[in-house]
C-alpha cells in the first residue's frame, strides 16, 4: 500500500469531515438527495483515496520531475544569462578603459598642439614686435634727422635774423653799424656757447 504524506492525509481527512458535516446538515434540512445518501459514502471515500493516490503517483513520478526539469533548465538559462551579462559587463569596462585611455591621449595631443600653436604665435608676435621696433626706430631716426635739419635751418634763420637785429640795434644804440659778417660771427659764437 502507498503511504501518503502528512499533508495529503490531512487534506483527505478534512474533505471527509466536510462531507460528513454536509450530509448531517442536509439530513436535518431534508436537503439534497446526493448528500443524504449516507450508504454510498464508503465507496466515495474509497474512490477518493484511490483517486488521490493515483494523482499523487502521477504527480510524483511524472509531473513533478518534468516541472523540476523545467525549473532546472530555467535556472541554467538564468545562470547562462548572468554569465553572459558578466562577460558583456567586463567587455564594456574594457571598452570604457580603452576609451578613457584614448581620450587621455587625445587630450595630451591637443594640449601639445595648443602649446605648439601658442609658442608659434608668440614667436610670430616677437618677430612682428621686433620688426615694428626696427621700423619705429628707423622712423624715429628719420624724424630726428628732419628735426635736426629743421633746427639747423631754423637756427640759420635765427642766426641771420639775430645778426641783422644786432647790427640794427648796435647802429641805433652806439651810432656805429658793424659789418654783417662780424655780427654773424658774434651771434654764432654766442649760440654755440649757449646751445
Q: 8 lies in a domain?
A: no
Q: 117 lies in a domain?
A: no
Q: 38 lies in a domain?
A: no
Q: What is the DSSP letter of 151?
A: H
How many domains are there within the chain? 1
Q: Please give the residue range of the domain that contains residue 189.
A: 152-194
Report yes or no: 155 and 119 within 8 Å, Cβ to Cβ.
no
99/83 Cα distance (integer angstroms)? 24
Q: 172 lies in a domain?
A: yes
Those residues whose C-beta lies under 8 Å from the C-beta of residue 177, and which sit 6 or more positions away, are 167, 170, 171
Q: 42 lies in a domain?
A: no
pLDDT digits (tens, 9 = 90+) for 48-77: 999 999 999 988 898 888 999 999 999 999
pLDDT digits (tens, 9 = 90+) for 84-125: 999 999 999 999 999 999 999 999 999 999 999 999 999 999
- Tell me the whole-structure pTM to 2 decimals: 0.38
Provide the mean pLDDT of the chain.
82
187/161 Cα distance (integer angstroms)? 10
Q: Cell numbers 474512490 label which residue?
A: 47
The three cell numbers locating residue 175? 651810432
Q: 123 lies in a domain?
A: no
Instruction: Give just the sign of the alpha carbon dihedral 112, 118, 124, 127.
Output: negative
Amino acid at each position: 500500500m502507498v503511504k501518503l504524506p502528512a499533508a495529503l492525509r490531512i487534506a483527505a481527512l478534512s474533505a471527509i469531515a466536510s462531507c460528513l458535516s454536509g450530509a448531517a446538515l442536509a439530513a436535518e434540512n431534508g436537503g439534497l438527495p446526493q448528500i443524504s445518501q449516507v450508504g454510498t459514502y464508503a465507496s466515495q471515500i474509497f474512490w477518493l483515496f484511490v483517486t488521490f493516490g493515483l494523482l499523487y503517483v502521477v504527480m510524483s513520478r511524472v509531473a513533478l520531475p518534468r516541472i523540476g526539469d523545467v525549473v532546472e533548465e530555467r535556472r541554467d538559462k538564468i545562470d547562462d544569462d548572468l554569465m553572459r551579462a558578466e562577460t558583456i559587463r567586463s567587455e564594456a569596462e574594457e571598452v570604457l578603459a580603452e576609451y578613457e585611455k584614448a581620450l587621455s591621449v587625445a587630450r595630451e595631443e591637443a594640449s601639445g598642439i595648443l602649446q605648439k600653436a601658442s609658442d608659434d604665435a608668440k614667436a610670430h608676435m616677437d618677430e612682428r614686435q621686433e620688426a615694428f621696433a626696427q621700423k619705429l626706430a628707423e622712423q624715429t631716426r628719420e624724424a630726428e634727422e628732419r628735426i635736426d635739419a629743421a633746427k639747423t635751418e631754423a637756427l640759420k634763420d635765427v642766426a641771420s635774423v639775430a645778426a641783422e637785429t644786432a647790427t640794427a640795434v648796435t647802429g641805433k644804440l652806439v651810432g656805429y653799424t658793424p659789418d654783417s659778417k662780424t655780427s654773424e660771427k658774434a651771434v654764432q659764437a654766442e649760440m654755440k656757447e649757449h646751445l
